[in-house]
Amino acid sequence: MSFCSDVKKEISASPLPHACCRRAFAYGLMQGAHAFDLNEMSIQTEHRAVAAAYAAVITALFEDVSFLEQTTPRKNGAYYTVSVADEADRFAILDSFGHTGREPNLRLNRANLDCDMCGAAYLRGMFLACGAVSEPESAYHLEMSVPTHKLCGDLLTLLGENEMAFKSIVRKGCNVLYLKDKDCIADFLAMIGAQSGSLHLYQAMVFKDIRNKINRQMNCESANMDKTVAAAADQLRAVSRIAEHGGLSQLPDDLRELAALRLEHPEYSLRELGEALDPPLSRSGVNHRLRRITVFAQELAD
């Protein structure tokens, strides 16, 4: 299963504290699904848990409601459609939430958010119906595709009241609210009841940070190794040039031993060269003497 499916399954099973919160959850679920339609009060989703939650919460709030359920196979799964069958039931549900089903612009009716926790419950339902979150191992992105422009504005206000800094765009004629900040996504998931999803996101963040640090360290070490190899090659060429033009005996005593050591051990680092000298020499001292050897070889060639 995908990360988004796991999150929605967790949210669907997460309990709500009060009856008013369950009502707010149902309200958000129906608004996100654009189900406030007198002719067809339905939700279509690719998540079985969301379809089950839709039927369960409406049944809990409105007794003896009959549903039509349909499963439509698709390439990688199925679409699950749940509809309120009876028109009288649809009218009663709409009326209880303060809607007619024929509003030209769907808006958020704040009368359905009774307590301080109802806002989070409403957003939980909204995310289940029209939200998505990407795999944290690949990208950090969470969004909700909102049915109408004015409802999008109402949601931005509600999210701001809950300290959630969503941004909005219009994509292919659809109003989209989104988050790209990983910490904000984790906080939002925790707020709407997906604590395990939030924890998984934090774990992925830590893993990616460690992996990136290791990659940077390896790239740095690789670059340093390339520089060391290139420098050693230049030093070997310089020593070989001196040997071909009269021999290493031309060098001062302090350089002759180091030049012979470099010829004998081309794979040695500066530190290893310094340790092999008698008496031992520091890395900076070895580097200084090798530069003198290189200058001597250049002068000899000129």
Q: How confident is the model at residue 261 (pLDDT cuts 50, 70, 90)?
A: confident
pLDDT at 302 over 70: no
**Last residue within a domain, chosen from 174, 193, 212:** 193
- Examine the domain organization and report whether 12 and 123 are in the same domain: yes
Which burial class, exposed, middle or buried, applies to 279 when counting CB atoms under 10 A from its CB (0-12, 13-18, 19+)?
exposed
How far separated are the first and last CA of the chain, in Å rounded? 71
Residue 136 lies in a domain: yes
Residue 34 lies in a domain: yes
pLDDT tens digits, 79-122:
888 888 888 888 888 888 888 877 777 888 998 998 889 999 99
pTM greater than 0.85 (yes/no): no
Residue 124 banded pLDDT, cuts 50, 70, 90: very high
State how far the Cα of 92 lies from the Cα of 98, in Å rounded to an integer.
Answer: 10
pLDDT, one tens digit per residue, over 156-197 is 999 999 889 999 999 888 899 999 998 999 999 999 999 999
pLDDT score for 237: 83
Residues β-bridged to residue 132:
143
The answer, yes or no, to whether residue 232 has pLDDT greater than 90, is no
Q: Are both 150 and 263 inside the same structural domain?
A: no
238-246 CB contacts, 8 Å cutoff, 24+ apart = 238/293, 238/294, 238/296, 238/297, 238/298, 239/263, 239/293, 239/297, 241/297, 241/300, 241/301, 242/293, 242/296, 242/297, 242/300, 245/300, 245/301, 246/300
**CA separation, residue 152 to residues 31, 107, 166, 178 (Å):** 11, 8, 11, 11
113 and 246 assigned to the same domain: no
How high is the pLDDT of residue 176? Answer: 93
Place of tokens 């050591």: 261
**Number of domains observed in the structure of the chain:** 2
Which residue range(s) make up the domain with 96? 3-193
Packed helices 195-244 and 283-301: angle between N→C axes, nearest 10 degrees = 40
Give CA–CA dist 138/232, Å, rounded: 41
Same structural domain, 85 and 233:
no
